[in-house]
Amino acid sequence: MKTSLTQPKLDRTLDRANSDVVLIVDDVPDNLAMLHDALDESGYTVLVATHGEAALQRAAQVLPDIILLDAMMPGMDGFEVARCLKATPQTAHIPIVFMTGLTETEYLVAALECGGVDYVTKPIKPKEVLARMAVHLQGAREKRQARSALDAFGYASITVRVSDGKLMWQTPLARDLLLHYYGTDAPTTPPAVLTWLRRHVAHQDPQAEPPRLSIELAARRLTFRLHQQIGDSEGGGDWLIIMQEVSDQSVIEAMGLCFKLTPREAEVLYWVVKGKINRDIGDILGSSPMTVKKHLERVFAKLGVETRTAAAAMAMSRIRQLHPQFEQ
């Protein structure tokens, strides 16, 4: 079994395939030693931090599977640590189990409100901690598998908090897509996406599927679909949004083959179908409107038509046969 207390350089090479990684945060050495030994014997990879700042640094380095967090510590207490972790997209998904000697309701409520998923009271009972951890690790593991499957099938996902507009979590594929289409990265949610989300939250109809948001970039289109609300609904809640990119490059290639067009002529016809004028097509393809006009004249000749409307209608008829999912 592997444990790591002092070697941050090894953190990113931890063997997660064989054991879950637990970060224990406590300023009392006896508590650390007892939990460390119990978790190690149970097959977990164990990391420790003795104060709040070290906990934040450690969590960012390692991205543990779960955090056991002492509520009362000198300096930055556990409540503040939890708020910082949940406000950071890279660590917001990590389940936090508070360890506290404070049993008054207000403290237990505070632990949950600042991001904890559960709590255990001191003096710590290792068997209770292990039982609570197992429940939350199973849920986190299922979420990771689902997110990985989404990415593998070309679907990306993000979680956005409505109250402040922060992008709380994103899959690797989602990060790449948002950078490509909007030039943004977490915790910034693209303004158009946030406006779309808030409009839905303000006027949501439980009986109707929310309208989707789409953005086009050349022959590629990124679509956003609201999947579900997660967590507390106060302030609008957090929303899981599924993204999918569709490329119409195959449509362009099919038009070229069907009508014996050159690649550039097929691109011009594609944008005519999309309703673009010559000036817009020129801007998209990096050509002048006059060059686009010449390409279009050759397209008309090959299709045996005289107008843009006729060319678009003929192309759409053939596209619908080959690509029923194509959106004009």
Tens digit of each residue's pLDDT (9 = 90 or more) over 94-117:
899 999 887 777 778 888 888 888
Q: Please give the Cα distance from 300 to 94 (Å, whole number).
A: 59
Mean pLDDT within 281-298: 91
Mean pLDDT within 29-50: 90
Question: What does pTM read for this prediction?
Answer: 0.50
Report the pLDDT value the prediction gives residue 300, as an integer from 0 to 100: 94
Tell me the pLDDT band of 8, cut-offs 50, 70 and 90: very low
pLDDT over threshold 50, residue 7: no
pLDDT over threshold 90, residue 142: no
pLDDT over threshold 50, residue 13: no
pLDDT over threshold 80, residue 321: no
Report the pLDDT value the prediction gives residue 144, as an integer from 0 to 100: 67
Report the pLDDT value the prediction gives residue 112, as an integer from 0 to 100: 83
Determine whether domain 154-247 maps to CATH 3.40.50.300.
no
Tell me the pLDDT band of 66, cut-offs 50, 70 and 90: very high
Report the pLDDT value the prediction gives residue 324, as an integer from 0 to 100: 52
Q: Please give the Cα distance from 217 to 301 (Å, whole number).
A: 29
Mean pLDDT within 191-219: 82
CATH architecture, range 249-322: Orthogonal Bundle (1.10)
Report the pLDDT value the prediction gives residue 55, as an integer from 0 to 100: 93
What Rg value do the Cα atoms of the chain yield, rounded?
27
User: Own/partner pairs for 175-182, CB < 8 Å, 24+ apart?
Assistant: 177/222, 177/243, 177/245, 180/217, 181/215, 181/217, 181/222, 182/215
pLDDT over threshold 70, residue 235: no
The amino acid occupying position 316 is: M
Q: Give 292-308 as a DSSP string.
A: HHHHHHHHHHHHT-SSH
The mean of the pLDDT values for the chain is 82
280 CB-near residues (< 8 Å, 6+ apart):
271
Q: Which two structure tokens, joined as six digits, stand for 83? A: 């708020």
Report the pLDDT value the prediction gives residue 154, as an integer from 0 to 100: 55
Q: Which fold has domain 8-147?
A: Rossmann fold (3.40.50)
Residue extents of the structural domains in the chain: 8-147, 154-247, 249-322
Length of the chain: 328
Mean pLDDT within 255-278: 90
Tell me the pLDDT band of 207, cut-offs 50, 70 and 90: low
Give the lowest-confidence range in 17-31, 71-85, 227-241.
227-241
Q: Please give the Cα distance from 154 to 212 (Å, whole number).
A: 17
Report the pLDDT value the prediction gives residue 2, as an integer from 0 to 100: 41
**Higher pLDDT, residue 237 or 28:** 28
pLDDT over threshold 90, residue 86: no
Mean pLDDT within 251-279: 88
